[in-house]
Chain A
């Protein structure tokens, strides 16, 4: 079955700098890769996702890149702000599949 590895487990950056979180997956058939943000005391919330027919997707300060050959994908946050502090999860699955497999999570802290 699918296995997703996420790094780093914690990341601390200065406000205004960029943050990058990386994930690798094992099943070459996977074609759906979402990213979730979890704020304290809340459930994870989807922030961006990418299908395997594209290599990059952007939404304002957030971007995701996908390298299907190497089986890894990354979340990029530019011009970080204090409200970006949260736990971020990557995940992978087949689009029609029932089960989404999650990475271990990254705790991102933005220092003012």
Chain B
């Protein structure tokens, strides 16, 4: 089992560019999450999907959109990247506990 797989591992964008971060899990979990990690701020929830077909905003959703493509896949889209979105992004899943994380995507917006 691979667990939670995120692609890409690294990405550099220019301000205004768009991109989609991909996440897939092979544990048959119902719930999936996107977090961002910034120094001194811990892990902050961007969006989550409690089950296939549903998505909800977390603590910091502005500037992001998500798609729960099927039970396995949950993508995060930045439509117009801003320097404030420079961060490490983690996808996670659970059903019901504990939460399992991927290894992250390090995104730099210049």
Binding site for B on A (CB under 8 A): 6, 9, 32, 34, 36, 41-46, 49, 89, 95-96, 98-100, 102-105
Contacts and interface: CB of A to CB of B under 8 A. Distances in A.
Contact size class for B?
A: 20 to 34
Among all A-B residue pairs, the 4 with the closest Cβ atoms? A43-B101, A104-B42, A102-B43, A102-B42
A41 B106 CA distance: 9
Contacts of B53: none
Contacts of A49: 97-98
Interface in B54-110: 56, 58, 90, 92, 96-104
A111 B103 CA distance: 26
Among A36, A43, A104, find the residue whose CB has the most chain B CB atoms closer than 10 A: A43
Nearest to A49: B98
B4 A98 contact: no
19 contacts: A34-B99, A36-B101, A42-B104, A43-B102, A43-B103, A44-B101, A45-B101, A46-B99, A46-B100, A49-B97, A49-B98, A89-B42, A95-B96, A96-B96, A102-B43, A103-B42, A105-B40, A105-B42, A105-B43
